[in-house]
Chains A and B, each alone.
Chain A
Amino acid sequence: MSSSPTENPWEYAPAPESRDIANLKPSYRMFVDGEFVEGNGAGLKTINPATEEVLAEVSTADSSDVDTAVRAARRAQEKVWRKMPGTERAKYIFRIARMIAERSRELAVLESLDNGKPIKESRDSDIPTAAAHFFYHAGWADKLDYAGLGPDPRPLGVAGQIIPWNFPLLMAAWKIAPALACGNTVVLKPAETTPLTALVLAEICQQAELPPGVLNILPGDGTVGSELVAHGGLDKVAFTGSTEVGKLIQRTLAGTGRRLTLELGGKAANVVFDDAPIDQAVEGIVNGIFFNQGHVCCAGSRLLVQESVAEEVLHKLRARIATLRLGDPLDKNTDIGAINSAEQLAKIRELTAAGDTEGASRWTSPCPLPDKGFFFAPTVFADVQQSMRIAREEIFGPVLSVLTFRTPDEAVTKANNTPYGLSAGIWTDKGSRILWLANRMRAGVVWANTFNRFDPTAPFGGYQESGFGREGGRAGLEAYLDD
């Protein structure tokens, strides 16, 4: 490797996607019982985290709106949705899948505006995968008897769902598609900072003539979420977000008999052995931690590299990271977009400061930072010890902690030394070692010689404090069926 990490051999002309494609409206309203209505909450202004400008005003729910939505969902469940043959339910869900695909460009730009993620990711990953989730689950709606969950699987009833801001439309799809396919109706709360694409999804459902009340969408902050999960009219709660909030929800539901699935935080180990194809591994490490600015619960945030190749890997890694382009999320050449919120940026700064204090060695990409908006340059901490906060806590940002190991057994011990258990990565050329290690990783998803792959047919979810229940695949249906 002759070029120094600071050299950028590539010059790019700006290639921004037009923001007009997003069809941005000045205001958005919540979606209840098939209509867009004004909420009784205080309302919120959603901003573009790359510029800090206000994108739109969004009306929010209060407790009476939560109640109205849950009742609407109950009526729709009992009078329409659960009685409808699976073949018919399927067709509505197929329609939704198709309409997401038809409006994918609009949704991608809107997602990047509201969330800050690079357009190449929203365009090539978030939106197509969201459409795929609806398409996949649509086909299950009339085949549930074959899911191996007993001869007569029945819907649970009304599901309250809360999703995070890192993949707004995709997380909505992960939650809504299986729920509807299994005959449940839904009240969904999108994240406070990213409500827009979920409300366009509501518009799509309206255009698809999904019966009123089957899907209700209530924007708002955490208080709306707590109102929703505590509502006695629900049969099921599904939550994706932090482990801290997941525990609160599990406590709230204690003793109620309501069903719960949780998809929570992670601190994934990405293990690189000395026989790994190093250049390929470097690409995988970069994808593992810098995809979506590291706002990924399954991000490969702990790099465990075998001591004999640690120098080489770190050197190549820094050189590669230095070429990542940070900036305008709408620019098609942007690799790393904006941090989703000022609050999240502050959290990343606090944890990385702890990394300095606790004695890890910080390296920061020399990439230029825009002068407004929430940005954090890709950062790598070397000399990290297992006891440090940056090795234990989920940073949820573009920050990689590097630890080393000598033997495979040590790699397993260090990888599993966490209360989380969402995902893990393995890089080696030796097939038997992959299977040996995959077997020992206490994590719900193991990527070998790849990272951050998602598919509606592949169950996703955590061990231990990363939550319980699965999304995707046959296993994902269990979360929405009373067998």
Chain B
Amino acid sequence: MTDRIAVAKTYKLYLGGAFPRSESGRTYEVTDARGKFLANAAQASRKDVRDAVAAARKAFPGWSGATAYNRGQVLYRVAEMLQGRREQFVAEVAASEGLPAKRAQSTVDTAIDRWVWYAGWTDKIATVLGSTNPVAGPYFCFTVPEPTGVVGVLAPQQSALLGLVSVLAPVLAGGNTAVVLASQDRPLPAVTLSEVLATSDLPGGVANILTGRTGELAPWLATHADVNALDLCGSPESQRADLERGAANTVKRVLPAPAGEPEWTNPPDIRRLRGYLEAKTVWHPMGT
């Protein structure tokens, strides 16, 4: 009696709500922390980046225009789906990051809780960051935060799931849409996350997750005129200044890369939410 052969998964890109292979047909080998073969991942191309940006732009009016309550529910639903796949994530995080089972479990649990934390912000952030402005004249004047637009995210290279969740959830919670380049060498939890997103009522194109070579793809994301903000978190150090220069061509908001991989288990704050929000001030006269 032989053991049953498991059905292996094909790891693909997540683009516009679909799971295509790279248009280039390229793949690259992904190994675990000890170098053992895990899977072939799709190696996204410049054109995949552009398609992803187009999908994110197309999805922006719907997602940013949805009610904050609705966005909160959809994002909470993501956490529910994450919980349902907990064991799969634990196995993938353990393999990708070389963590013992206990640490992998607590990492995945923190990632799920983090997603819940951000889901709850959708209908509160405007209260916290918005204002009515007591202007010196007969006007009603108020300021509300609004999403910046399409955000390019270079996900952390080390923390394949918790780090990814920590940088992606605030983008989506604020009403932005995202194009994410997953951790280059540890992309499998990101692909599984995209399967979660696809089954969580998140409209297609709101989050697009690409796997491939960060150094090859990042410049196309940084210089794309339809990207409004850029998170340099997982960018190669040697490339950062160039990426920032490229981002300046269209005055992108740039979240600088931290000096090293942050300690993602630390409690989050609203800085990342603020980073992708614009303040809009509206004036109207008061009178008869």
Contact A455 B251 (CB under 8 A): no
Contact B141 A455 (CB under 8 A): yes
Contact B279 A467 (CB under 8 A): no
Give bound CA distance, A255 to B137, whole Å.
43
Residues of B within 8 A of A148 (CB): 128-129
Contact B245 A458 (CB under 8 A): no
Residues of A within 8 A of B251 (CB): 243, 246-247, 250, 262, 264, 464-468
- Per a CB cutoff under 8 Å, which of A247, A419, A470 touches B279? A470
Give bound CA distance, A40 to B210, whole Å.
54
A460 at the binding interface (Cβ < 8 Å): yes
Residues of B within 8 A of A450 (CB): 139, 283-285
B213 at the binding interface (Cβ < 8 Å): no
Contact B143 A475 (CB under 8 A): yes
Contact B248 A444 (CB under 8 A): no
B58 at the binding interface (Cβ < 8 Å): no
What are 22 pairs between A and B in contact, CB < 8 Å? A148-B128, A247-B249, A247-B251, A250-B244, A251-B245, A254-B247, A419-B225, A434-B284, A438-B282, A441-B280, A444-B280, A446-B280, A448-B282, A448-B283, A448-B284, A453-B141, A457-B134, A457-B135, A458-B141, A458-B143, A468-B253, A473-B131
Contact A464 B228 (CB under 8 A): yes
Residues of A within 8 A of B29 (CB): none
Give bound CA distance, A461 to B285, whole Å.
20
Q: Chain B residue with minimal CB distance to A463? A: B278
Given contacts A148-B129, A250-B251, 19 further A-B contacts (CB under 8 A): A132-B136, A250-B248, A255-B240, A255-B242, A255-B245, A444-B279, A445-B280, A445-B282, A448-B283, A453-B283, A455-B137, A457-B141, A458-B283, A463-B280, A464-B149, A465-B251, A468-B251, A473-B133, A475-B129
Most buried by A among B137, B149, B284: B284
- Per a CB cutoff under 8 Å, which of B137, B250, B284 touches A449? B284
Q: Chain B residue with minimal CB distance to A248? A: B248
Residues of B within 8 A of A33 (CB): none
Contact B248 A251 (CB under 8 A): yes
Contact pattern, A 247-265, Cβ under 8 Å of B = 1, otherwise 0:
1001101110100001010
Give bound CA distance, A148 to B269, whole Å.
12
A residues contacting B by CB (< 8 A) are: 132, 148, 150, 243, 246-247, 250-251, 253-255, 257, 262, 264, 419, 434, 438, 441, 443-450, 453, 455, 457-461, 463-468, 470, 473-475, 478, 483
Contact B250 A465 (CB under 8 A): yes
Contact A455 B136 (CB under 8 A): yes
A-B interface pairs (CB < 8 A), number: 115
- Per a CB cutoff under 8 Å, which of A132, A255, A264, A464 touches B241? A255
Give bound CA distance, A148 to B241, whole Å.
31
Residues of B within 8 A of A444 (CB): 278-281
Q: Given A264-B251, A465-B250, A473-B133, A446 and B283 touching (CB < 8 A)?
A: yes
Residues of B within 8 A of A448 (CB): 282-284
Q: Chain B residue with minimal CB distance to A454? A: B135
Residues of B within 8 A of A468 (CB): 251, 253
- Per a CB cutoff under 8 Å, which of B134, B247, B249, B282 touches A446? B282
Give bound CA distance, A419 to B252, whole Å.
11
B102 at the binding interface (Cβ < 8 Å): no
Residues of B within 8 A of A463 (CB): 148, 278, 280
- Per a CB cutoff under 8 Å, which of A443, A459, A466 touches B143? A459
Residues of B within 8 A of A455 (CB): 133, 135-137, 141
**Would you list which residues of chain B between 116 and 138 have a CB under 8 Å from chain A?**
128-129, 131, 133-137
Give bound CA distance, A150 to B244, whole Å.
27
Give bound CA distance, A150 to B128, whole Å.
12
B274 at the binding interface (Cβ < 8 Å): yes
Residues of B within 8 A of A467 (CB): 251
Residues of B within 8 A of A254 (CB): 241-242, 244-245, 247-248
B256 at the binding interface (Cβ < 8 Å): yes
Residues of A within 8 A of B36 (CB): none
